[in-house]
A and B are shown apart, each in its own frame.
Chain A
Amino acid sequence: MLERLQNSRNALGLLFLLPAAVLLLLFLTYPLGLGIWLGFTDAKIGRPGEWIGLENYSFIAQDAVTQLALFNTLFYTVVASIFKFLLGLWLAVLLNKNIRFKTFFRAVILLPYIVPTALSAIAFWWIYDAQFSIISWVLMKMGLIHQYIDFLGVPWNARISVIVANIWRGVPFVAITLLAGLQTISPSYYEASAIDGATPWQQFRHVTLPLLTPIIAVVMTFSVLFTFTDFQLIYVITRGGPLNATHLMATLSFQRAISGGALGEGAAISIAMVPFLLAAIMFSYFGLQRRAWQQGGADK
């Protein structure tokens, strides 16, 4: 029996998969399942909850702060992701060229990504300070403004300010990943297209971009997921203020669940993020990664 098991590809396959499966169940499935369960209860910090059905969801659907947090999250994600993509792609193309000190610049570009998020958030907090902002100080000295800019005290200023911080932090990830993708494109495509008389723009449009699409799909999926679930930048820079104008779903969920003790409601806010995240993944998977040409066919 044991010998048969040892020689069974299926049994051994299952056996070898078991540790990974246990880890997945323990650290991914269980917390997610617990979160879903908590969302249907009135659990508080330190006390188990009772089943209340959809009450949490019904409340957050009507809650003005949650609605604002959802709007903020979508706005933050869309704007930051677009800018991160454009800047990241631009940097990747630049770094892929034979420029001087290429290695140095490639290392420099990673700096924002290797600084701990909390530290970069504190730096931005100072940069945006209502009274001590270096940006305002410089603009004042240059005579371009007459009073300090209230970066974090005005809702739209605050939204844009945290988006800028997120872009600064997220661009390296996009740039370096796309650079890796660019380096997998064979130079022969460019040589062939050059012989055919293609301009640099045509080369980019018809060679680079199509061949980069799979990696763009992956990197943008991750970028959107990271941005949608961002927490640290907001928590350090604004704590969701002013007037909840920068509260994201993640920060609001934390505030309600942990600081406020309303575990059930906080979990419901977290779970409410899942459909949006799934939509982002589906878009990437079906819209970009499974394009027919990747299987040797033609796009329809």
Chain B
Amino acid sequence: MSQFNRRKFLEGSASVAAATTLGTGASVFAPAAQAQTIAFKPEKGAKLRVLRWSRFVQGDIDQYMKNVAAFTAKTGIEVRVDNEGWEDVRPKAAVAANTGAGPDIILSTNDDANLYPDKLLDVTDLAEYLGKKYGGWYPAVHAYLKPDGKKWIGLGLGSAGSMMVYRQSQLKAAGFDAFPKTTDDFLKMAQALHAKGTPIGLALGNATGDGLWCNWLIWAFGGKLVDANNKVVIDSPETLKALEYGKQLYATFIPGTLSWLDPNNNKAFLDGQISATNNGISIYYAAKNSTDPKVKEMAADIQHASFPVGPVGQPTESHLFFNQMVMKYTKYPQAAKEFLRFMMEWEQFDPWLTGAGGYVAAPLAAYEKSSIWTSDPKNLPYRDAVKNLRPAGYAGKLGYASAGAGADFIVVNMVAEAISGSKTPKEAMERAQKRAERYYKV
């Protein structure tokens, strides 16, 4: 992709390095950085409406609403927050963008902002301020929200890490002391777990979040939807290898994964029916905070790990990205920017990260220092979800086509068709190629 290149990576890395030198907690900011300030003067009589995705962990919404209340107390600006399942935020945001009416601020998923960049308020000043103050935005955030390399069309909120969640005791019983680091070992582990009657399960339905593991699968073998010039290249020998591997993996899955949507794997895991799946930290969070002693006991046995590395030799992580968009039609652009500034400042954002129990990984490097990542070692694998995130439009430029292709579940359906045996891998690839070309024709 042209915007997510080596230069951006170096810029991001330099920012991260700078942040690391700044210290932690209240002392993360060097004096120069602390001196930075930006002032947005809310419009008189401003009121804001925020549409955001429903919480998967209770602490997220509790702390978010506390921060909202603090903002109202400080500025007198009334803020109404509506929650919708993230499947439903996307269509509502799309309709709002198209009709020019609706919430002032929308917290949505993946590259939704790239579906209608012209309808979003330019927040470059705010993004640059936050980037400078908090050690820089990670490269993936630049790719998602600064598509032309100049103008920010939204702010990153973070990412729900899609990590492997597993039962340590069951892996051990199957002969594995640690979670595999390579795709070959991962397959062996899945087969061993299946033989032991404690299978794994990964979602293959039209799931916005948990279906993202299909990107990992394709990328791990060198496949990709498009090349750097946005040419569709999913029908390739690399994808074929990934699908052949996926077929072997699918043979070890618990039945029913073809229909799994986002909540299914949480339920199956917490019910003890699977030993490993991909998920945010919500499974662990639910186990830790459960009132059921059996489920609470399970928390001690739960571990997290990154997805294994495939033949490409480098991590190919795909996580659910969250963004914050201010709609251009808002009557209160300054108030909206001030709201986002307030919510992203350390005093508010760090308690929110903590309240969410590690469910959201931050988009700004300084938040690596949040105590949420060290207070419980099991949270740590989720910390770098945004840092290591490869945008879903890889290896092309993000935009309308990548957003549309993602929303149309082209990759997920291709993987589901091929590995379940509904279509041959070749047929599935050809169908995906044809469908993706339709989007990338733009």
The chain A residues found within 8 Å of chain B, CB to CB, are 42, 44-47, 59, 63-65, 129-132, 147-148, 150-155, 158, 238-244, 254-256, 258-263, 265
| Inter-chain contact B408/A260, CB cutoff 8 Å | yes
Binds A, one of B12-20, B33-41, B336-344, B416-424: B416-424
Chain A residues closer than 8 Å to B267, beta-carbon distance: 129, 131-132
- Pull 26 A–B residue pairs with CB atoms less than 8 Å apart, ordered by A: A45-B97, A45-B116, A46-B97, A46-B115, A46-B119, A59-B438, A65-B431, A130-B254, A130-B259, A131-B254, A131-B273, A151-B259, A240-B206, A242-B204, A242-B259, A242-B420, A243-B422, A255-B407, A255-B408, A258-B90, A258-B91, A260-B404, A260-B405, A261-B115, A261-B400, A261-B404
Chain A residues closer than 8 Å to B435, beta-carbon distance: 63, 65
Residues of B in contact, count (CB < 8 Å): 45
Contact with A along B40-55 (1 / 0, CB 8 A): 0000000000000000
Asked whether A150 and B408 contact (CB < 8 A) given A46-B97, A259-B90, the answer is: no
Instruction: Give bound CA distance, A270 to B192, whole Å.
Output: 48
Chain A residues closer than 8 Å to B417, beta-carbon distance: 243
Chain B residues closer than 8 Å to A148, beta-carbon distance: 255-256
Query: What distance in Å separates the Cβ of A260 from its nearest Cβ neighbour in chain B?
Result: 4
Chain A residues closer than 8 Å to B204, beta-carbon distance: 241-242
Query: Is B73 located at the chain interface by the 8 A CB criterion?
Result: no
| Inter-chain contact A44/B442, CB cutoff 8 Å | yes
Query: Is B301 located at the chain interface by the 8 A CB criterion?
Result: no
| Inter-chain contact B271/A132, CB cutoff 8 Å | yes
Instruction: Give bound CA distance, A242 to B207, whole Å.
Output: 11
Q: Tell which of B206, B268, B420, B422 has the most Cβ of chain A within 10 Å.
A: B206
Dominant SS at the B interface? Answer: helix
| Inter-chain contact B115/A152, CB cutoff 8 Å | no
Query: What distance in Å separates the Cβ of B84 from its nearest Cβ neighbour in chain A?
Result: 12
| Inter-chain contact B116/A47, CB cutoff 8 Å | yes
| Inter-chain contact A259/B258, CB cutoff 8 Å | no
| Inter-chain contact A244/B408, CB cutoff 8 Å | no
Query: What distance in Å separates the Cβ of B344 from its nearest Cβ neighbour in chain A?
Result: 25
| Inter-chain contact A239/B258, CB cutoff 8 Å | no
| Inter-chain contact A243/B206, CB cutoff 8 Å | no
Instruction: Give bound CA distance, A151 to B255, whole Å.
Output: 10
Asked whether A152 and B273 contact (CB < 8 A) given A46-B115, A262-B404, the answer is: no
Query: What distance in Å separates the Cβ of B294 from its nearest Cβ neighbour in chain A?
Result: 16
| Inter-chain contact A152/B431, CB cutoff 8 Å | no
Instruction: Give bound CA distance, A47 to B434, whole Å.
Output: 24
Query: Is B245 located at the chain interface by the 8 A CB criterion?
Result: no
The chain B residues found within 8 Å of chain A, CB to CB, are 87, 90-91, 94-95, 97-98, 115-119, 204-206, 254-261, 264, 267-268, 271, 273, 400, 403-405, 407-408, 413, 416-417, 420, 422, 431, 434-435, 438-439, 442
Chain B residues closer than 8 Å to A240, beta-carbon distance: 206
Instruction: Give bound CA distance, A262 to B116, whole Å.
Output: 12
Chain B residues closer than 8 Å to A242, beta-carbon distance: 204-205, 258-259, 416, 420
Chain A residues closer than 8 Å to B117, beta-carbon distance: 46
| Chain B minimum-CB-distance residue to A152 | B259
| Chain A minimum-CB-distance residue to B422 | A243
Question: Among A151, A241, A261, A265, which residue has its beta carbon within 8 angstroms of that of B403?
Answer: A261
Query: What distance in Å separates the Cβ of B97 from its nearest Cβ neighbour in chain A?
Result: 5
Chain B residues closer than 8 Å to A42, beta-carbon distance: 442
Instruction: Give bound CA distance, A260 to B408, whole Å.
Output: 5
| Inter-chain contact B259/A259, CB cutoff 8 Å | no
| Chain B minimum-CB-distance residue to A64 | B431
Query: What distance in Å separates the Cβ of A238 from its nearest Cβ neighbour in chain B?
Result: 6
| Inter-chain contact A241/B206, CB cutoff 8 Å | yes
Instruction: Give bound CA distance, A262 to B439, whole Å.
Output: 8
| Chain A minimum-CB-distance residue to B118 | A46
Asked whether A130 and B260 contact (CB < 8 A) given A44-B442, A243-B420, A260-B404, the answer is: yes
Instruction: Give bound CA distance, A151 to B205, whole Å.
Output: 13
Chain A residues closer than 8 Å to B261, beta-carbon distance: 239
| Chain B minimum-CB-distance residue to A255 | B408
Query: What distance in Å separates the Cβ of A240 from its nearest Cβ neighbour in chain B?
Result: 6
| Inter-chain contact B407/A46, CB cutoff 8 Å | no
| Inter-chain contact A241/B431, CB cutoff 8 Å | no
| Chain A minimum-CB-distance residue to B91 | A258
| Inter-chain contact B416/A243, CB cutoff 8 Å | yes
Query: What distance in Å separates the Cβ of B69 from its nearest Cβ neighbour in chain A?
Result: 30
| Chain B minimum-CB-distance residue to A246 | B259
| Chain B minimum-CB-distance residue to A56 | B438
Instruction: Give bound CA distance, A96 to B122, whole Å.
Output: 66
| Inter-chain contact A241/B258, CB cutoff 8 Å | yes
| Inter-chain contact B255/A259, CB cutoff 8 Å | no
Asked whether A238 and B438 contact (CB < 8 A) given A258-B95, A261-B115, the answer is: no
| Inter-chain contact B257/A153, CB cutoff 8 Å | yes
Asked whether A243 and B413 contact (CB < 8 A) given A45-B116, A130-B256, the answer is: yes
| Chain B minimum-CB-distance residue to A242 | B258
Instruction: Give bound CA distance, A241 to B119, whole Å.
Output: 31
Query: What distance in Å separates the Cβ of A184 from its nearest Cβ neighbour in chain B?
Result: 43
Given A46-B97, A243-B417, 13 extra CB contacts under 8 A: A44-B400, A64-B431, A65-B435, A131-B256, A148-B256, A150-B255, A238-B259, A239-B206, A242-B204, A244-B413, A255-B407, A259-B94, A261-B407
Query: What distance in Å separates the Cβ of A137 from its nearest Cβ neighbour in chain B?
Result: 12
Chain B residues closer than 8 Å to A259, beta-carbon distance: 90-91, 94, 407-408
| Inter-chain contact A147/B255, CB cutoff 8 Å | yes
| Inter-chain contact A130/B255, CB cutoff 8 Å | yes
| Inter-chain contact B258/A153, CB cutoff 8 Å | yes
| Inter-chain contact B205/A45, CB cutoff 8 Å | no
Chain A residues closer than 8 Å to B259, beta-carbon distance: 130, 150-153, 158, 238, 241-242
Query: What distance in Å separates the Cβ of A177 from its nearest Cβ neighbour in chain B?
Result: 32
Chain A residues closer than 8 Å to B404, beta-carbon distance: 44, 260-262
Query: What distance in Å separates the Cβ of B95 from its nearest Cβ neighbour in chain A?
Result: 7
Query: What distance in Å separates the Cβ of B210 from its nearest Cβ neighbour in chain A?
Result: 13
| Chain A minimum-CB-distance residue to B257 | A153
Chain B residues closer than 8 Å to A158, beta-carbon distance: 259
Instruction: Give bound CA distance, A61 to B91, whole Å.
Output: 25
Query: What distance in Å separates the Cβ of B418 from its nearest Cβ neighbour in chain A?
Result: 10
Asked whether A260 and B407 contact (CB < 8 A) given A46-B119, A243-B420, the answer is: yes
